[in-house]
Amino acid sequence: MVTNMRTTTLRGGVEMPLIGFGTFQIWQQEAAREAVSQALDAGYRLIDTAAGYFNEEGVGRAIRQSSVPREQIVLTSKLWPTDASYAGAKVAVQRSLNHLGVDYIDVYLLHQALGDYYGAWRALTEMQQAGYIRSIGVSNFNAGRLYDLAQFSGVVPAVNQIELNPWRQQRATRKTAAKLGTVIEAWSPFAQGRDGIFSNSVITTIAARHHVTTAQVILRWATQQGIIVIPKSVHRQRMDANLAATDFDLTEAEIAEIARLDRYPDDPGAVNSPQLIERLLAIDPAGKHE
């Protein structure tokens, strides 16, 4: 179990571990409960879920059954775009609280820059003030949408959770986030294993130099730059290995080597097609849960 967890502090004071546990695609409640239980036992203290993952009940059950005190766990959930309105967000936050079986959610994010996310954002600020949420942020917001929301709402998102890995490094969005004081959180830090990321010669050479795995190098490359990562695994050995990825440091030269692997250096960030929006809006977290 890791005891020297490195952290970063969000706007408002929430202390976030730099390595968390992601639960996307763990659809069944019992599987989610088991995975989160194992993660907490391994030493994870940041658990990430979402209404759109349909596993909040299992995640919440694991947290309630754990011997880890609730106040030591940073729990994240997210608002699905079908609930993106002022009234919809109020209902959705309460629904997530009920599904999770908790009194508060540590970090709550707008899952997509879709729908009336301005109205939803206003609702989240009120829910935060009422104590139901400790910190609010966004997910999948590109640089422009992030800056727009921060400037015109008057409330800067504490977090922007985006796809980020050595293949897609999101420089524009990271630059804007740094200007605003928004912490970047990376989903898909391993690019879902695509395009030989675990066998890339640059990364494997660095891994051999430090006597660690390529996965650990990828996670350390992100966390050493202050980026939170939320890798997912249902295998305890990988959970342990991922969590140990802050036990060494890369050199500036090694970070620069990985920076050159960026395949989309001019990437403006998430841009949703009409077809993708249709698919997203066909998902309804208010519907049937297992």
Active-site positions?
A: 53
Beta bridge partners of 9: 15
Query: Is the distance from CB of 36 to CB of 23 less than 8 angstroms?
Result: yes
Task: Please list the alpha-helical segments (H only) found in the chain.
Answer: 29-42, 56-65, 86-100, 117-129, 143-153, 171-180, 201-210, 214-223, 236-243, 252-259, 274-281
Q: Which of 139, 126, 69, 128 has its CA nearest to residue 104? A: 128
Tell me how far apart the alpha carbons of residues 223 and 246 are, in angstroms, rounded to a whole number: 7
Burial (CB < 10 A; 0-12, 13-18, 19+), residue 152, is: exposed
Q: Is 99 annotated as a binding residue?
A: no
Q: Which sign, positive or negative, has the C-alpha torsion 130, 131, 132, 136?
A: positive
The continuous run of DSSP H or E covering 106 comes out as strand 105-110
**Tokens encoding 277:** 């929006």
Please give the annotated binding residues, written as ranges.
111
Please give the annotated binding residues for substrate, written as ranges.
111
